[in-house]
Amino acid sequence: MISPSPQKYFSTPEYKSMQAFGEVFIDTLPKHVRNLKIPGRVISDDNRRQPVLAQITQVSELQNAMHDVLDHPITQEAQLNSEYAFQALLQKPSVDPSVLSFFNGWNETHKTTSLVSAKIIMRLSADAISTTEKLICYHHVLAHMHEVARDDFGLGHPGHDGMYSYMTTAFGATAWVEDQYKIHECNEFSEFLYNTGVAEHKSALDSPEHKQSILDAMMVSIASELWNGREYNFIAQYIEEKLISLNPSLKTNVKILRNAKGYVMGHFGEVENKHGLHALAAAQAYARVANIDFKIGRLKGIMLNYNERVGNAFAAMHRALKAQAK
């Protein structure tokens, strides 16, 4: 089953569903994997470390698993919930309390970097002093996780900090930060992310529980980044015209318009998918370091669980937007 294409509210010539964006990425997965690298690094004026190719294995099996997850009814429903929520937002002629709730809730669904990926990096960094074997592979884990998180922390994308506020300011929706606009399901989702990031962090370093909690958190990071790749590409088709419809003066102010749409466009294209592949490379490398199995079946289950949870959050955002419209 393929998600219906969104209703064409604006005059751009073609729109793609989240499903279509996902299919394109998965179909070209082997190419993306072949090109994935840890970037090179200047060591000194006359010394530079060359890029390091990622070591992702079981690519065909992963490709099949990703197709299974994408086509699963859980993902299909989650994507529809997301598309319907965005469509409801796009239909709003002006900002009302439901739009403020949407932006509050949407922000809660995009905390994986700080609540999961960054905590993985912190935990691995703290444990590095106790790690004596397979150090090069351990360093690869950290380097790949750095690639997952660096853009969201302003180390890769100039001006990333503050992009969400630029967008909500352009919408005239700065009050979204107030507690009265919280959506329970969205805060429940970010609580799930937090619990994932800190699970078993006090367990013994060599315990099965500790090792599996790190690998599971990395799998949540994979699920999140690949979901985000579809989500941001979907809304990117609409964001500029929506902003201009709310504030026509943006059409003649290139800098302010660029800042206003920067939150969406900064995650557009293959940015999030690449983050997901670095998380995948990190997870497989960590499994080798920790001497535990990287199970594709477990990854599928975690991805579906993530998709169901984020889909429930978007369903709540959609209900909030539609309730105000009545």
Give the whole-number percent of the chain exceeding pLDDT 90. 84
Question: Across residues 288-316, what is the average pLDDT?
Answer: 97
* 292 touches 215 (CB < 8 A): yes
**Tens-place pLDDT, residues 161-184:** 578 999 999 999 999 999 999 999
Residue 150 belongs to a domain = yes
Question: Across residues 34-47, what is the average pLDDT?
Answer: 94
In terms of C-beta density within 10 A (0-12 exposed, 13-18 middle, 19 or more buried), how is residue 273 classed? Answer: buried
Residue at token pair 């992963």: 62
**Tens-place pLDDT, residues 135-168:** 889 999 999 999 999 988 877 655 555 789 999 9
Domain CATH for 84: 1.20.910.10
- How many of the other CB atoms lie within 10 Å of CB of 203? 14
Is pLDDT at 43 greater than 50 in this prediction? yes
pLDDT at 268: 87
Residue 295 belongs to a domain = yes
Residue 126 belongs to a domain = yes
Average pLDDT, the chain: 92
C-alpha count within 13 angstroms, C-beta hemisphere, residue 69: 26
Residue 9 belongs to a domain = no
Domain count, the chain: 1
**Tens-place pLDDT, residues 19-38:** 999 999 999 999 999 999 99
- Please, which pLDDT band fits residue 13 given cuts at 50, 70 and 90? low
- Which of 124-138, 228-242, 250-264 has maximum average pLDDT? 228-242
Instruction: Give just the sign of the alpha carbon dihedral 161, 166, 22, 237.
Output: negative
Residues 72, 79: Cα–Cα separation, whole Å: 11
pLDDT at 8: 42
Question: Across residues 230-256, what is the average pLDDT?
Answer: 94
Q: Which structural domain, as residue segments, surrounds residue 79?
A: 18-325
- Of residues 124, 126, 120, 129, the one with CA closest to residue 148: 120
Residues 28, 185: Cα–Cα separation, whole Å: 34
Is pLDDT at 217 greater than 60 in this prediction? yes
Question: Across residues 223-243, what is the average pLDDT?
Answer: 97
Residue 125 belongs to a domain = yes
pLDDT at 4: 44
pLDDT at 270: 92
Residue 7 belongs to a domain = no
Residue 4 belongs to a domain = no
Helix 73-91 crosses helix 296-325 at what angle (to 10 degrees)?
Answer: 30
pLDDT at 158: 55
Question: Across residues 60-72, what is the average pLDDT?
Answer: 98
Is pLDDT at 111 greater than 90 in this prediction? yes
Residue 2 belongs to a domain = no
Residues 312, 213: Cα–Cα separation, whole Å: 24
- Of residues 178, 270, 287, the one with CA closest to residue 228: 270
